Every structure is written in C-alpha cells, then in structure tokens.
Amino acid sequence: MALWQSEYPFGSHYLTIGANRLHYVDEGRGDQPIVCVHGNPTWSFYYRAIVKHFRNTQRVIAVDHIGCGLSDKPQKYPYTLAQHIANLQLLWQTLDLRNITLVVHDWGGAIGLGTAIAEPHRVARIVILNTAAFPPPYIPWRIAACRWPLIGPFAVRGLNLFNRAALTMTIHRKKRLSPVVASGLLAPYNNWTNRVAISRFVGDIPTSPNDPTWQVLDNIERNLHQLAHLPVMMIWGMQDWCFRPECLDRLAKHLPQAEIIRLEDVGHYVMEDAPEDVLSNMDRFLQAPATST
C-alpha cells in the first residue's frame, strides 16, 4: 500500500456515465450530506480532512471529476465545464441527494455552483473556498504559460510541472507539504495519459465571449442570485495569487448574505494550508439552522 493511502482510508464508489466511471467517496450516514467538489489539479484527496472529521456524524461525499483522481481518464472526451456540471448533476440525481451542504474550491466552484443553480431544490447551504463562478477577469501568467502551443502540453503532461508547482505555490502558512501529502496529490497523475484532464482544464479557461465556457460561466454568474437565500460561508486564503481577493469581492456582491472568513496568511490550497480553520468554521456553520428542502 502506498504511504498516501493511509491519509485516504475511504472506500471507492463509482457512477458509470456513458463509457466512463466517475469515482466518489461516500462515507458516513445521514440525510444532510456534505458534498465536496474539487478543482484542478487536485482530486477528492484534497478533502480528506473534511471526510474524516464529519463522517462519524453525517454523510460526506467527495467526487473525482472524469479524468481526475480515481475516475477514468479517457483521452478523447469533452473536458468542458458544461460536461463536468452535467456529470455532477447526474450524480446528485442518481443518489437523490437533498439538503446538501455544498463545499467547493477552484474549478469546483464553477462546477458545484453551476450544478446548484441547475438543482437548487437539493442544496441547503454552501461553503466556498478560493474559487470563481464568472468569466475570468484575468489569467495569471503562470497559468497562461501552460496554454502555449506545444510548450504547454509538454510542460503539463510531459513534465507534470503544473501539478508539481502547485505543491509549493498554493500554500503560504505552511512552508511545505509533507512528502506523504505531496505524493497523494500527485498519485493519480503519474504519466502523460493520466494528466489529460489537468491539461484540458487549463485549456478550457475561456479568453473571450466567443468561447463556449465563457458563456457557461456568464450564465452561472447571472444566476447566482438564485442561491442568495441560502446560508453561505466563504473561507478565503488571502495569499492566493490565482483566485485573488477581488474574486472574493465579486462573489460576495452576488451572495451578500455570506459570512466571510479571511485567512490572511493562507494560500490557494486552503484545505492543505489551514484545515483546522476550515473545520472549526464548518462545525459552527453546520450547527446553525439551514434552508431545508
């Protein structure tokens, strides 16, 4: 058994979507499930602290998008925001999830909030970690470089630079991740073939209104008001160079009811940099009355 598996002692569950299997963790029991949605280049391993912390008292589900984590990694697949939303929506429908506490991060914000807008009757409250749910106001040069023809795919899929750089560039409070945690974050993406979704996520970042994903993001932003009646907590690493504080401010305008927790010395990987802060605030948040559906 690989060392990282000691950090991820969960059973595997799968939903078959077309020719591919979507993997998810489903721990604990209860009728108010916590559903965690990851971004790029992470996977459900990123949410292991939430799963461990809450599984003794309630049901916790953490998904792996197609192409990510322990899900299938087809080489010819529509790795688009719209497809990821459709996949998550199908999972919610198949499991008939209701009274969801939705937890999102990075690309998981657009995917999870897009699904919540499509299935609002299933969501009771939302926890938002550094993310965006609108067309990108900027693309950091470190990510833009990964989109360059030839050089970008070679760096992301050949050298695994995107994922390896994330191990250090996404934390601030902690000086480094432990070797076990680092190996867990890297484990599913161990060769060119298995890094297909990492590259395609980067490539799906829209640069103009002519891009289909721009329109999907614009539609999500236009409909965020549909979630404005729900309890929302935003826990934000303020040292994030990718989803900078202006992303927090833009989301807050659409969700003015949100409680905002600013972690001044925390980077983008909030669950790696400050898991205790997230868990303590979630404990308090979950004890408050929610919108029941």
Please report the pLDDT score of residue 101 as a whole number.
98
Please report the pLDDT score of residue 49 as a whole number.
98
pLDDT band at residue 292 using 50, 70 and 90 as cut-offs: very low
In the chain, the domains with their CATH numbers are: 3-286 (3.40.50.1820)
Cα 56 to its chain centre, rounded Å, is 23
Neighbours of 12 (CB within 10 A): 13
pTM confidence score: 0.96
Give per-residue pLDDT as tens, 176-234: 999 999 999 999 999 999 999 999 999 999 999 999 999 999 999 999 999 999 999 99
pLDDT band at residue 291 using 50, 70 and 90 as cut-offs: low
Residue (of 245, 244, 253, 259) closest to 222 by Cα position? 253
pLDDT at 12 over 90: yes
pLDDT at 278 over 50: yes
Collapse the DSSP code of 10 into the 3-class scheme (helix H, G, I; strand E, B; otherwise coil) and give the result. coil
Mean pLDDT across the stretch 34-41?
A: 98
| Mean pLDDT score across all residues of the chain | 95
| Residue 10 structure tokens | 């969960």
Task: Tell me the one-letter amino acid at 90.
Answer: L
Return d(Cα 74, Cα 63) in angstroms, integer: 17
Please report the pLDDT score of residue 251 as a whole number.
98
Return d(Cα 101, Cα 98) in angstroms, integer: 9
Please report the pLDDT score of residue 293 as a whole number.
47
Please identify which residue in the block is written with the tokens 């569950």. 13
Mean pLDDT across the stretch 16-36?
A: 98
The residue that leads in pLDDT, 69 or 143, is: 69
Angle between helices 107-118 and 212-222 (to 10 degrees): 60
Please report the pLDDT score of residue 149 as a whole number.
77
Cβ–Cβ under 8 Å, residues 2 and 186: no
Give per-residue pLDDT as tens, 134-169: 999 988 867 877 676 766 787 899 988 999 999 999
| Residue 38 structure tokens | 């990851």
Return d(Cα 59, Cα 29) in angstroms, integer: 4
pLDDT band at residue 240 using 50, 70 and 90 as cut-offs: very high
Please report the pLDDT score of residue 139 as a whole number.
84
